[in-house]
Amino acid sequence: MTMIANESDSDAEVESGGDVLRTDPVQRLKVQRLIIAMIVAAVLLLWLGLPALKEWVDARDDSVMIHRMAVVCYWLGFTLFATAGYACWYARNIFRSSQFPPPGTWVLRDTRLLRGDHARARGWWVMACAISFTLLALFVVIELPRQIEGLMSFSSMHQPVPAQGPHG
Protein backbone atom coordinates (compact mmCIF):
# COMPACT_ATOMS: atom_id res chain seq x y z
CA MET A 1 0.00 0.00 0.00
CA THR A 2 1.36 3.43 -0.85
CA MET A 3 0.99 6.45 1.36
CA ILE A 4 0.58 10.10 0.48
CA ALA A 5 2.57 12.60 2.49
CA ASN A 6 2.05 16.34 2.61
CA GLU A 7 4.40 19.29 2.99
CA SER A 8 4.72 18.96 6.76
CA ASP A 9 7.01 15.93 6.33
CA SER A 10 10.73 16.62 6.45
CA ASP A 11 11.93 15.21 3.16
CA ALA A 12 13.86 16.94 0.38
CA GLU A 13 11.28 15.96 -2.23
CA VAL A 14 8.41 17.15 -0.07
CA GLU A 15 10.08 20.50 0.52
CA SER A 16 10.01 21.17 -3.21
CA GLY A 17 6.22 21.44 -2.94
CA GLY A 18 3.17 19.23 -3.34
CA ASP A 19 2.23 15.82 -2.07
CA VAL A 20 4.50 12.80 -2.32
CA LEU A 21 3.46 9.26 -3.09
CA ARG A 22 5.49 7.12 -0.68
CA THR A 23 6.73 3.69 -1.59
CA ASP A 24 5.93 0.60 0.43
CA PRO A 25 9.29 -1.04 1.37
CA VAL A 26 7.89 -4.59 1.09
CA GLN A 27 6.37 -3.86 -2.30
CA ARG A 28 9.60 -2.19 -3.44
CA LEU A 29 11.60 -5.29 -2.51
CA LYS A 30 9.16 -7.51 -4.44
CA VAL A 31 9.43 -5.34 -7.54
CA GLN A 32 13.23 -5.21 -7.28
CA ARG A 33 13.36 -9.02 -7.06
CA LEU A 34 11.02 -9.28 -10.04
CA ILE A 35 13.22 -6.95 -12.08
CA ILE A 36 16.34 -8.95 -11.19
CA ALA A 37 14.56 -12.20 -12.15
CA MET A 38 13.48 -10.67 -15.48
CA ILE A 39 17.03 -9.51 -16.23
CA VAL A 40 18.44 -12.97 -15.42
CA ALA A 41 15.75 -14.59 -17.59
CA ALA A 42 16.49 -12.19 -20.47
CA VAL A 43 20.24 -12.89 -20.28
CA LEU A 44 19.62 -16.65 -20.22
CA LEU A 45 17.15 -16.38 -23.07
CA LEU A 46 19.62 -14.41 -25.17
CA TRP A 47 22.52 -16.68 -24.26
CA LEU A 48 20.65 -19.91 -24.96
CA GLY A 49 17.98 -18.76 -27.38
CA LEU A 50 19.83 -16.47 -29.78
CA PRO A 51 21.94 -19.25 -31.37
CA ALA A 52 18.81 -21.39 -31.72
CA LEU A 53 16.89 -18.46 -33.22
CA LYS A 54 19.72 -17.76 -35.67
CA GLU A 55 19.83 -21.43 -36.64
CA TRP A 56 16.04 -21.47 -37.06
CA VAL A 57 16.01 -18.31 -39.21
CA ASP A 58 18.98 -19.42 -41.36
CA ALA A 59 17.57 -21.74 -43.95
CA ARG A 60 18.94 -22.94 -47.25
CA ASP A 61 15.75 -21.97 -49.04
CA ASP A 62 15.28 -18.19 -49.29
CA SER A 63 11.48 -18.40 -49.12
CA VAL A 64 11.65 -20.37 -45.86
CA MET A 65 14.12 -17.87 -44.41
CA ILE A 66 11.92 -14.92 -45.42
CA HIS A 67 8.89 -16.58 -43.84
CA ARG A 68 10.79 -17.25 -40.61
CA MET A 69 12.11 -13.70 -40.44
CA ALA A 70 8.55 -12.45 -40.94
CA VAL A 71 7.43 -14.57 -37.98
CA VAL A 72 10.13 -12.91 -35.86
CA CYS A 73 8.92 -9.49 -37.06
CA TYR A 74 5.32 -10.36 -36.15
CA TRP A 75 6.31 -11.40 -32.62
CA LEU A 76 8.33 -8.22 -32.17
CA GLY A 77 5.39 -6.19 -33.49
CA PHE A 78 3.04 -7.96 -31.07
CA THR A 79 5.20 -6.99 -28.10
CA LEU A 80 5.33 -3.38 -29.33
CA PHE A 81 1.53 -3.32 -29.76
CA ALA A 82 1.12 -4.70 -26.22
CA THR A 83 3.44 -2.01 -24.85
CA ALA A 84 1.48 0.66 -26.74
CA GLY A 85 -1.78 -0.70 -25.35
CA TYR A 86 -0.47 -0.54 -21.79
CA ALA A 87 0.77 3.03 -22.33
CA CYS A 88 -2.67 4.06 -23.67
CA TRP A 89 -4.36 2.49 -20.65
CA TYR A 90 -1.95 4.25 -18.30
CA ALA A 91 -2.45 7.62 -20.04
CA ARG A 92 -6.23 7.15 -19.83
CA ASN A 93 -5.91 6.62 -16.07
CA ILE A 94 -3.87 9.81 -15.81
CA PHE A 95 -6.50 11.77 -17.76
CA ARG A 96 -9.41 10.35 -15.75
CA SER A 97 -7.83 11.06 -12.37
CA SER A 98 -5.98 14.26 -13.33
CA GLN A 99 -3.15 12.90 -11.24
CA PHE A 100 0.27 11.48 -12.03
CA PRO A 101 0.97 8.80 -11.01
CA PRO A 102 -2.67 7.70 -11.07
CA PRO A 103 -4.26 6.40 -7.87
CA GLY A 104 -3.29 2.82 -7.06
CA THR A 105 0.02 3.01 -8.94
CA TRP A 106 3.01 1.30 -7.36
CA VAL A 107 6.12 3.43 -7.18
CA LEU A 108 9.71 2.28 -6.67
CA ARG A 109 10.75 5.48 -4.93
CA ASP A 110 8.97 8.39 -3.33
CA THR A 111 7.35 10.31 -6.16
CA ARG A 112 5.95 13.83 -6.14
CA LEU A 113 2.31 13.84 -7.23
CA LEU A 114 1.35 16.00 -10.17
CA ARG A 115 -2.23 17.19 -10.39
CA GLY A 116 -4.33 19.11 -12.89
CA ASP A 117 -2.66 20.51 -16.00
CA HIS A 118 0.78 19.17 -15.03
CA ALA A 119 -0.61 15.65 -14.72
CA ARG A 120 -2.49 15.93 -18.01
CA ALA A 121 0.70 17.15 -19.72
CA ARG A 122 2.47 14.03 -18.41
CA GLY A 123 -0.46 11.98 -19.71
CA TRP A 124 0.02 13.46 -23.18
CA TRP A 125 3.71 12.47 -23.05
CA VAL A 126 2.71 8.92 -22.15
CA MET A 127 0.19 8.96 -25.02
CA ALA A 128 2.94 10.21 -27.39
CA CYS A 129 5.04 7.21 -26.35
CA ALA A 130 2.07 4.92 -27.05
CA ILE A 131 1.65 6.42 -30.52
CA SER A 132 5.39 6.00 -31.17
CA PHE A 133 5.25 2.34 -30.12
CA THR A 134 2.23 1.81 -32.37
CA LEU A 135 3.95 3.37 -35.39
CA LEU A 136 7.08 1.33 -34.75
CA ALA A 137 5.00 -1.84 -34.43
CA LEU A 138 3.26 -1.09 -37.73
CA PHE A 139 6.62 -0.60 -39.41
CA VAL A 140 7.97 -3.86 -37.96
CA VAL A 141 4.88 -5.86 -38.94
CA ILE A 142 4.12 -4.35 -42.35
CA GLU A 143 7.18 -2.74 -43.88
CA LEU A 144 10.13 -4.67 -42.42
CA PRO A 145 9.10 -8.06 -43.91
CA ARG A 146 8.69 -6.40 -47.33
CA GLN A 147 12.13 -4.80 -47.01
CA ILE A 148 13.68 -8.14 -46.05
CA GLU A 149 12.00 -9.84 -49.00
CA GLY A 150 13.24 -7.09 -51.32
CA LEU A 151 16.80 -7.46 -50.05
CA MET A 152 16.66 -11.22 -50.49
CA SER A 153 15.42 -10.95 -54.08
CA PHE A 154 18.04 -8.27 -54.83
CA SER A 155 20.87 -10.40 -53.44
CA SER A 156 19.70 -13.51 -55.34
CA MET A 157 19.72 -11.53 -58.63
CA HIS A 158 23.35 -10.42 -58.11
CA GLN A 159 24.93 -13.73 -57.16
CA PRO A 160 27.74 -14.88 -59.42
CA VAL A 161 26.83 -17.37 -62.11
CA PRO A 162 28.78 -20.61 -61.70
CA ALA A 163 31.22 -21.26 -64.51
CA GLN A 164 30.29 -24.12 -66.80
CA GLY A 165 32.78 -26.80 -67.67
CA PRO A 166 33.77 -27.87 -71.21
CA HIS A 167 30.90 -30.34 -71.44
CA GLY A 168 28.00 -28.17 -70.67
- Per cent of the chain over pLDDT 90 is 41
What is residue 83's predicted lDDT score, i.e. its pLDDT?
Answer: 96
pLDDT above 60 for 164: yes
pLDDT above 70 for 15: no
Mean pLDDT of 113-136: 96
3-state secondary structure of 99: strand
Amino acid letter for position 31: V
pLDDT above 70 for 158: no
Q: Which of 89-93, 109-113, 150-154 has the highest mean pLDDT?
A: 89-93
Q: Of the ranges 19-28, 35-44, 58-67, 77-86, which one carries the lowest mean pLDDT score?
A: 58-67
Angstrom CA distances, 42 to 11, 33, 71, 165, stand at: 36, 14, 20, 52
Range 160-165 contact pairs with CB under 8 angstroms and sequence separation of 24 or more: none
95 forms bridges with which residues in the sheet? none
Mean pLDDT of 23-31: 87
Q: Which of 37-46, 60-69, 131-140 has the highest mean pLDDT?
A: 131-140
Bigger pLDDT: 164 vs 63? 63
Question: Does the model's pTM come out above 0.75?
Answer: no
Q: Which of 16-20, 97-101, 145-149 has the highest mean pLDDT?
A: 97-101
Q: How many CB atoms lie within 10 A of CB 73?
A: 21
3-state secondary structure of 3: strand
Mean pLDDT over the full length of the chain: 81
